[in-house]
Chain A
Amino acid sequence: MIDSTVLKVRDLYVTYQSSFGPVPAVRGVDLDIALGETLGLAGESGCGKSTLAMALLRLVPPTTQISGSILLDGQNVLTMKPGQLRLVRWAQASIVFQGAQHVLNPVQRIGAQIDEAIQLHHGSTSSTVREMLALVGLSDTRADDYPHELSGGQKQRVMIAMALSCNPLLIIADEPTTALDVMVQAQILQLLDNIKRERGLSMLFITHDLSVLSHNTDRVAVMYAGRIVEVGPAEELLRGSIHPYSRALAESFPIIGDPKSRHQPKGLAGDPPDPNLLPSGCPFHPRCNVAIDSCKSIDIKLSAVAKSVDRQVACVHANDESRSVK
């Protein structure tokens, strides 16, 4: 086990500068992704998950402060010089962005957009546009098309082809199926899954929809207000989440294969907190239905739970026998 860890994030803080002052979007996150492993990262919009994804390749606005460390294949992304960083981008880790409508350049042929990445990193790949299109199930005549000539699903396939074109170790999939209809969603998820298996890729799969994570992830982390509040093996966590936020998130979506959940979807009241006005203590306590007095003052850290070696939770109730299993 010298280093099968592809991505190792320690104590990551990301703070935006806005006209109203600094906005702490990510506040002390640790993450590990092993070779060939898929980590699901879930949370409502505004919890900092997309910021985290962007920060991994330093794609945040230049005024943003980032601290901690991001080791990608053992090298710290945060201390790289710009030239070195550009070599790492896409060649070591690439991103499948959400909403492929706007992430492709509308006035450039898609073949040229894929080829641009290949040419840029020709040291790390010998793939061709034609191969990449075939890989995602598109005919090579599509290379001459412009983005507006493709459907949403086809654009997302192009995005995936582009992300794979330089043979990265890690794919960051940032809500890759959001703007798509359900049938296409399933196709894209299947495609990502197949490719990942074939190529032994690591993946960070970001979503607000826990149900998407159930069968294609090894581990799941749940994020709230810029922090990870629960992390553990996917199967275990989705079956029985411990943190009240994870539980609420899980209940707000129907579980595939469980018709009962479909009839009683439960929403989570309220909105995630404004990063500028975080509540005291545990940031979730104002929306939590099991909060106790100490939650208002004690900001509890992520720590291992007694019943499982692989799980960590940030909640006072983490070790309550009665609550841990629903």
Chain B
Amino acid sequence: MSNRYVIKKIIGALLTLFAVVVFNFFLFRIVDRDPLSKYRGRSKLSLEQREAMIRRMGLSGSKWDQFVVYIKSTLRLDFGRSFDSTRPVLREIADRLPATLILVGISTALTIGIGLYIGAKAGWARGSRFDRVSTSGTMVLYATPEFFFGMLLLAIVAGRTGWFPTGGLRDIGANYGFVDSLLDRAHHLVLPSLTLTLGYLGSYSLIMRTSMLETLGEDYLTTARAKGLKESDVMTHHAVPNALLPSVSVIAISFGFVIGGAITTETVFSYPGLGLATADAIRNTDLPMLQALFLVASAAVIFLNLVADLTYGLLDPRIRHST
């Protein structure tokens, strides 16, 4: 991969991030003319408290002044205080970030792995029984809102059998040792990550199936067969590496969907991560939280896109060797 490619992609990501930061200001300071009006406790504020709050939120002065204040505080990661808890937004986010990272990380890895596998296999054996069953299955998965999945899982697995906890991050009040506490957290993760994985499996496998179909007619597969390769080796050594390329860029775009899915999934399982924080912030109209959460989600997606672009560069020698 040439340095130029890497630098170009990094600069592109930084520019997009900057655009998001500006867009965020635009949304919360210009589209929304009076952000403070959404603060529920405002009627109880004294005039002085109100002035102080306006200053603290960077709402005084001209729009340009406000913009400068906003950029400065954003660079310091100072997002103000939550309307709801009145704690600093950064603290709220930092507290909840690890839980979401684990959930989204596990689910993304599973959904990409399983989705690509199913899609590759289905596309390779187009029209076969496996293809028909898996394609209809993935269509139904695609059509199901992931939170409905979560509700079904709760009703069937957690509610009826009691095999899994119905929510939370860990058993409250239990006093476990290190290993047990780890197992307990894993136990709480099973249903949420299953929900998120199933929720986005469909799109990934349909994407991979399509790019697999596009490689089926390629001449180099005939070459591989003529060389005496087994069908399974023709598929894994020649078809899949080529079919992965177009998939990577489409997958990059769909990271945003998984992050969106985390919001509802965490809500269903009362899993205290950033997703649940988002749902709470919606119900409480907690603007400072929402603003920061939007930035975090965008930054995460931009970062994952960058990772995908660089992966693409690694996978495709035509980019890797270009100058």
Contacts and interface: CB of A to CB of B under 8 A. Distances in A.
Given A107-B245, A146-B317, A148-B318, A89 B228 contact: yes
Given A106-B317, A107-B245, A107-B315, A86 B220 contact: no
B74 interface: no
Interface in A135-157: 146, 148-149
Given A106-B317, A107-B242, 6 more contacts: A59-B222, A59-B226, A102-B219, A103-B219, A106-B242, A117-B227
A103 B317 contact: no
Nearest to B245: A107
A94 B226 CA distance: 7
A148 B226 contact: no
B313 to A, nearest CB: 12
Interface in B213-233: 218-220, 222-230
A89 B226 CA distance: 6
Contacts of B241: 105, 107-108
A112 B316 CA distance: 16
Nearest to A62: B231
A89 B231 CA distance: 13
A120 B227 contact: yes
Nearest to A83: B230
A106 B226 contact: no
Contacts of A231: none
Interface in A48-91: 54, 57, 59, 86-91
B212 to A, nearest CB: 15
Interface in B271-323: 315-318, 321
A146 B318 contact: yes
Contacts of A108: 237-238, 241
Given A103-B219, A103-B220, A104-B220, A116 B229 contact: yes
Interface of B: 218-220, 222-230, 237-238, 241-242, 245, 315-318, 321
B168 to A, nearest CB: 45
A89 B227 contact: yes
A219 interface: no
A90 B226 contact: yes
Contacts of B321: 146, 148-149
A106 B220 contact: yes
A95 interface: yes
Nearest to A165: B227
A245 B227 CA distance: 35
A114 to B, nearest CB: 10
A123 to B, nearest CB: 12
Chain A: interface residue count, which band?
20 to 34
Nearest to B238: A105
A86 B229 contact: yes
B126 to A, nearest CB: 12
Contact of B227 (A99, A106, A109, A116): A116
Interface string A104-138: 11111100000011001100000000000000000
A216 to B, nearest CB: 22
Can you list the 8 inter-chain pairs with the closest CB atoms, starting with the nearest?
A: A89-B228, A146-B317, A102-B219, A86-B228, A105-B220, A103-B219, A117-B227, A103-B223
A84 to B, nearest CB: 11
A97 to B, nearest CB: 6
Given A106-B242, A107-B241, A107-B317, A87 B223 contact: no
Contacts of A54: 222
Contacts of B229: 86, 116, 120
A39 to B, nearest CB: 19
A54 B218 CA distance: 15
Interface of A: 54, 57, 59, 86-91, 94-95, 97, 99, 102-109, 116-117, 120-121, 146, 148-149, 162
A77 to B, nearest CB: 13
A4 to B, nearest CB: 25
Contacts of B220: 102-106
A121 B237 CA distance: 17
Nearest to A87: B228
Contacts of A90: 226-228
B230 A95 contact: no
A106 B318 contact: yes
A86 B229 CA distance: 7
B320 to A, nearest CB: 8
A86 B238 CA distance: 17
A106 B226 CA distance: 17
A59 B222 CA distance: 7
Contacts of B317: 106-107, 109, 146, 148
Contacts of A109: 317
Given A97-B223, A104-B220, A107-B241, A117 B228 contact: yes
A86 B231 CA distance: 10
Contacts of A88: 228
Given A108-B241, A116-B237, A149-B321, A103 B222 contact: yes
Contacts of B315: 107
Contacts of B223: 95, 97, 103-105, 162
Centre residue among A90, A109, A121 by max chain B CB count within 10 A: A90
A97 B219 contact: yes
Contacts of B218: 102
